[in-house]
Structure 1
Amino acid sequence: MAPRLPYLSDLSDARWALMEPILTAWRAERQKNSLNLGGKVADLREVMNAILYLNRTGIPWRYLPHDFPPHTTVFGYFSAWTADGTIEKLGVHLHGIVRQQEGRASEPTACVIDAQSVKTAPSVPVDTQGTDAGKKIVGRKRSIVVDTLGLLLLVTVTAASVSDNEAGIQLLSRIAADRPTISKAWVDTGYKKKAIEHGATLGIDVDVVPRNTQVKGFSVTPRRWVVERSFGWIMMHRRLARDYETKPAHSESMIRPAMISNLAKRATGETPITWHKP
């Protein structure tokens, strides 16, 4: 059978080489506990290519091209990798590689936190949505933590009605547990007294960086511009222009392939696709 023609989102050999050990180890572990009935085994590289294709183009699962594995198979892997943290593990692995290439320690000591409210698709359960009163958006809220390079550390998805302060408290707790080297965090004015006090109890100095009200329109905000750029990277992936996922956990997991794609290209010296260089 002739090999299929490549898609722009396909992994290069170099990028796949960074991911293959983790995914192969995952499969080996799964096979230990399986009945091993001899069924057809999907190509892990093609499964990851399919996830990246869907993430980049924004198509529904059922619309995956026929030269990928069946959409039910790809979604099954995506669900399993979400549930057991494999997608997150891939991101952590690539994050450490990129930081070391940039001359930084693999574990960051400072971070930036921000949130983005997005509209949801009609298929998203109503009980997982809410209204962001400030931005007048009905949908869900993505709260992310990035390091000072703008690389994703943590993400949580909630109803848009959840305040930045409340989401910030949850993220700070997770940061303290997962990244004990972090002692500094920059946030905007939406993260108020409770989040700042909670950070202090965890040994994290939370510094509010306000927007310059003397400047009309857009202006670069110190420190916080890094996380705004990260949202820009994420929004280049059309699946994330709106929240289409039924489960909030899948919404969180769908954000990670966007950053995994960015990290893998950085790690291999390949140029990420931008608006200016299609």
Structure 2
Amino acid sequence: MRQKRYSSDLTDSQWETIKPYFTTDRRRRHDLRRDILDAILLSPKTGCQWRMLPGEFAPWQTVYYYFRRWREEGRLQCLLSALRRTVRREEGREGEPSALIIDCQSVSTSRTGGIASYDAYKSVKGRKRHLAVDTEGLPWNVMVHAAGDYESQWAFQVLTPICGRTEQDKTVFADSAYQGLGEEVENKLGWSLSIVEREDKESGFSVDPKRWIVERTFSWLGGWRRLNRDYERNTDSSETMVRTALLRIALNRLG
């Protein structure tokens, strides 16, 4: 058992909640699965590189092995899917939302390489994080792509997997960058698209109806140092880092 604990570590009650998703037949003197997950949570929170994980954890090669394995298995994504439904029910809502908000955030990339391009509108060279969230700010899909790609190019790739996992019709709220997709969304997904226009036409910050929810989710990611810039070579690792942070946020919202 580790003697030193970190603020990013799971609490006992949080671990008991998600422990069934990490079953194993191997017997150990201590719960390695929890230590591995704590190490994975520490990296995006503090910005720590895998090779520089504190010595209290398992060797970094072991931590990265499980990060990659759980990413490929979709285990963290499955866990996040279950948690967001649990959080919604605890807050008195249905497990499935009737409304989604879609938007993207441009972030700079590091020198590690991988897919990247220039977003002329935001003056950012890097990638875009494309999120579809419910009215609680919980993610229903995450995609990362080059910053130079238009939002409309990826809208259906973000929304289509959600459509396959739910039977409820939805209203999708978006900004003017998704203008013109309403008919396609209705024909292909059976949902309706609502474009939210700015109430304050003057330049500067304004709180837009519904869209402030996804902007709040992006602001939550700002509290995770490794997510202030995209340090991952592969976009699937970038998506998993975002899901890991949102998984921890969802756990914190459980009673």
Q: In the TM superposition, what whole-angstrom CA distance separates every residue of 1:75-115 from its partner, at most 9, and x where no partner exists?
A: 11011111110010110111111000000011112100000
Paired residues of 1:113 and 1:186 also in contact (CA < 8 A)? yes
3-state SS, counterpart of residue 226 of structure 2: helix
Paired residues of 1:157 and 1:252 also in contact (CA < 8 A)? yes
Separation in 1, partners of 2:33, 2:2 = 16
Q: Does 1:244 align with 2:243?
A: no
Separation in 1, partners of 2:251, 2:146 = 30
Paired residues of 1:169 and 1:198 also in contact (CA < 8 A)? no
Q: Which runs of 5+ in 2 are unaligned?
A: none
Separation in 2, partners of 1:112, 1:140 = 20
Separation in 2, partners of 1:98, 1:215 = 37
Aligned to 1:93: 82
1:157-196 superposed matches below 5 A: 157-193=144-180, 195-196=181-182
Paired residues of 2:44 and 2:241 also in contact (CA < 8 A)? yes
Separation in 2, partners of 1:168, 1:219 = 24
Q: In the TM superposition, what whole-angstrom CA distance separates every residue of 1:168-226 from its partner, at most 9, and x where no partner exists?
A: 12112222112332421000111121x32221111110101022343442211000000
Shift in CA distance, 19/216, structure 1 to aligned 2, threshold 3 Å: same
* Matching residue's letter, 1:247: N
How far residue 57 of structure 1 moved from its aligned partner, in angstroms, is 0.5
Separation in 2, partners of 1:131, 1:178 = 33
Separation in 2, partners of 1:186, 1:256 = 21
Separation in 2, partners of 1:99, 1:74 = 31
Separation in 2, partners of 1:47, 1:61 = 12
* Matching residue's letter, 1:16: W
* Matching residue's letter, 2:182: I
Separation in 2, partners of 1:153, 1:93 = 11
Q: In the TM superposition, what whole-angstrom CA distance separates every residue of 1:224-276 from its partner, at most 9, and x where no partner exists?
A: 00000000111211111011111111110100111111111111x3xxxxxxx
Q: Does 1:110 align with 2:99?
A: yes
Q: Which runs of 5+ in 1 are unaligned?
A: 32-37, 270-278
Aligned to 1:137: 124
Q: Does 1:197 align with 2:186?
A: no
How many residues are paired up?
254
1:61 alignment partner, one of 34, 50, 65: 50
How far residue 133 of structure 1 moved from its aligned partner, in angstroms, is 1.8
TM-score normalised by length of structure 2: 0.94
Separation in 1, partners of 2:104, 2:207 = 17
Q: In the TM superposition, what whole-angstrom CA distance separates every residue of 1:124-146 from its partner, at most 9, and x where no partner exists?
A: 22xx1111121111111110000
* Matching residue's letter, 2:44: N
1:121 alignment partner, one of 93, 99, 110: 110
1:5-84 superposed matches below 5 A: 5-24=4-23, 27-28=24-25, 43-84=32-73
Shift in CA distance, 41/139, structure 1 to aligned 2, threshold 3 Å: farther
Q: Does 1:232 align with 2:219?
A: yes
Shift in CA distance, 6/120, structure 1 to aligned 2, threshold 3 Å: same
* Matching residue's letter, 1:200: E
TM-score normalised by length of structure 1: 0.87
* Matching residue's letter, 2:197: P
1:138-153 superposed matches below 5 A: 138-153=125-140
Shift in CA distance, 130/41, structure 1 to aligned 2, threshold 3 Å: farther
* Matching residue's letter, 1:253: T
Paired residues of 1:149 and 1:226 also in contact (CA < 8 A)? yes
Separation in 1, partners of 2:224, 2:147 = 20
